[in-house]
Amino acid sequence: MKKQIGILTILLMALGISNLWAEPYLAAWQGVNCNACHMNETGGYLRNDFGRNYGNDLKTFDWQGIAETAQAFTHKTPTFISAGVDLHESFGALFMPAPTGTLASFNPNSPFVPLGRQSFSIGIKANEVISGVFTYRLDINSPTEAYGLISGLPQDAYIKLGRFTTPYGLQLADDNSLVRGDLSNTNVLTFNNPFFSTDGIEVGIYPGIFFLNAAAFNDPAASNDKDFSAKGGINLKEVTLGGSIYDQNTPNGVAGQYGTNLRYGAFGWTHLGPFVILGEFDSGYDTVVSGAVVPQNNYTAYHASVEVDLGKNMYLRFVNEYLTDTSLSASFDGFRDVVSFRCYPVRNLKCQLDVQRMDPTAGAANYTTGPFYGTVLDAYMFY
């Protein structure tokens, strides 16, 4: 029973239903980069005035009474204080053609699993240069962001100190199953993994045509060691292109611990008429200390998606992802295809439905059957 629940948990994580914050699609539609809408240079959580106004304009139908109620929470705080909330209510389901009845033994009444993620953020500006941001995850009772920011330095430079999201590649959230969740053995590259913190320092150049985010932070598995992650590139009105690197090095020689983990890749997006195209390719390897360094485990992953604007703030997206590692030790090796529909029925409310198919690689860990089919229904209130 525990094994069955564990398999289901891994699969649900692979469905990408644990992290739904950043929306690079919205940035691509506007021809901007992530910090155009967020206080954080790498995107996510607390929105600035531009992000709030953009979100306020996303509405499909003019449900006047509900829309006015949703707008009741406006700028009632001093200009040097800003607050934001993210409230997700989701249901995820996984359907497997396995003859053993794994899902039936886990949940005999329904395959649907309720999920919820809620957070609260507050930002305080001492002046136009110095500010601080704090974000608290209400569902897990844990802070996820707590950093001080010095921005507006010469050449658009900034310095960030504290806990923050690791800068790497596309800040994917609702499509992070393969290029994020399994790309690092400690999940540190997932967008806001709730179980690991990245406390350190980040410096960069933002938000000009050329951007750079580079961070050094405590290793989530070995606090005495430091990790390094960076991304950089060029951001134009119609196209953004960049590259990333992540290095985890724990050279303490303890048997069974990971030695060197390296990830690197390229990413980008473009806006072509009624279409937005996103892509990311990643590669890298792990080595493990076990008396002597064993042959390295090599990773390759990619994400490709096309989203079309249906009008009235309704969007249809097609996603294809792939992950493989030579030891087949990731929680999922294989292909993942998604058809996603999202809309904004009223202001500050996003509704999204994902229908997914997962084709595991033969011989991958915990996978003896397939393909698997899943669906996620998410209602997301934000401010």
SS (H, E, C) the chain: CHHHHHHHHHHHHHCCCCCCCCCHHHHHHHCCCHHHCECCCCCCCCECHHHHHHHHCCCCCCCHHHHHHHCCCCCCCCCCEEEEEEEEEEEEEEECCCCCCHHHHHCCCCCEEEEEEEEEEEEEECCCCEEEEEEEECCCCEEEEEEEEEEEEHHHEEEEEEECCCCCCCCCCCCCHHHHHCCCCCCCCCCCCCCCCCEEEEEEECCCCEEEEEEEEECCCCCCCEEEEEEEEEECCCEEEEEEEEEEECCCCCCCCEEEEEEEEEEEEEEECCEEEEEEEEEEEEEEEECEECCCEEEEEEEEEEEEEEECCEEEEEEEEEEEECCCCCCCCEEEEEEEEEEEEECCEEEEEEEEEEEECCCCCCCCCCCEEEEEEEEEEEC
Three-point CA angle 51, 52, 55, nearest 5°: 85
Q: Indicate whether 152 belongs to any domain.
A: no
- Mean of pLDDT values over 166-191: 66
Is a pLDDT exceeding 60 seen at residue 48? yes
Nearest to 19 by CA among 115, 149, 94: 115
Greatest mean pLDDT range, 40-54, 73-87, 232-246: 232-246
Range of the domain at 228: 2-77+93-113+167-195+209-382
Per-residue model confidence (pLDDT) at position 69:
57
**Torsion region of 291: left, alpha or beta (phi above 0 gives left; psi -120 to 50 gives alpha):** left
Q: Indicate whether 162 belongs to any domain.
A: no
Nearest to 189 by CA among 176, 200, 204: 176
Per-residue model confidence (pLDDT) at position 266:
95
What integer best gives the mean pLDDT of the chain?
76
Q: State the amino acid at position 383 in one-letter form.
A: Y
Is a pLDDT exceeding 90 seen at residue 209? no
Per-residue model confidence (pLDDT) at position 288:
67
Higher pLDDT, 205 or 258: 205
Higher pLDDT, 152 or 302: 302
Q: What percent of the chain has pLDDT over 90?
A: 20
Q: Indicate whether 149 belongs to any domain.
A: no
Per-residue model confidence (pLDDT) at position 316:
95
- Gap between the Cα atoms of 79 and 124, Å rounded: 9
Is a pLDDT exceeding 60 seen at residue 293? no
* pLDDT category of residue 18 using cuts at 50, 70 and 90: very low
Q: Is the model's pTM score more than 0.85?
A: no
- Read off the tokens for 153: 């330095």
- Gap between the Cα atoms of 198 and 220, Å rounded: 7
Per-residue model confidence (pLDDT) at position 109:
42
* pLDDT category of residue 1 using cuts at 50, 70 and 90: very low
Higher pLDDT, 331 or 73: 331
CA atoms within 13 A on the CB side of 146: 7
Residue 327 near residue 334 (C-beta atoms within 8 A): no
Per-residue model confidence (pLDDT) at position 86:
84
- Mean of pLDDT values over 203-216: 88
Q: What is the pLDDT of residues 104-162, one digit of tens each?
A: 333 334 445 556 678 889 999 888 889 999 999 887 788 888 999 998 888 889 999 99
Nearest to 263 by CA among 278, 248, 252: 248
Q: Indicate whether 25 belongs to any domain.
A: yes
Instruction: Please report where in the chains the tokens 């493989």 appear, as a residue.
Output: 324
* pLDDT category of residue 282 using cuts at 50, 70 and 90: very high
**Residue 243, CA distances (Å) to 246, 253, 307 in order:** 11, 31, 22
Q: Indicate whether 46 belongs to any domain.
A: yes
Distance of alpha carbon 213 from the chain centroid: 16
Q: What is the pLDDT of residues 58-87, one digit of tens each?
A: 767 666 565 555 555 454 555 688 888 888
CATH of the domain at 265: 2.40.160
371: preceding bond cis by omega (within 30 degrees):
yes
Q: Indicate whether 136 belongs to any domain.
A: no
- Gap between the Cα atoms of 88 and 91, Å rounded: 10
Per-residue model confidence (pLDDT) at position 172:
65
Higher pLDDT, 77 or 35: 35
- Mean of pLDDT values over 370-381: 82
As for how many domains the chain has, the answer is: 1
Q: Indicate whether 260 belongs to any domain.
A: yes
- Mean of pLDDT values over 209-231: 84
Nearest to 13 by CA among 169, 137, 180: 180
Higher pLDDT, 172 or 145: 145
Per-residue model confidence (pLDDT) at position 108:
38
Greatest mean pLDDT range, 29-43, 155-169, 211-225: 155-169
- Gap between the Cα atoms of 353 and 343, Å rounded: 9
Instruction: Identify the sign of the CA torsion 188, 190, 195, 196.
Output: positive
Q: Indicate whether 143 belongs to any domain.
A: no
Per-residue model confidence (pLDDT) at position 194:
52
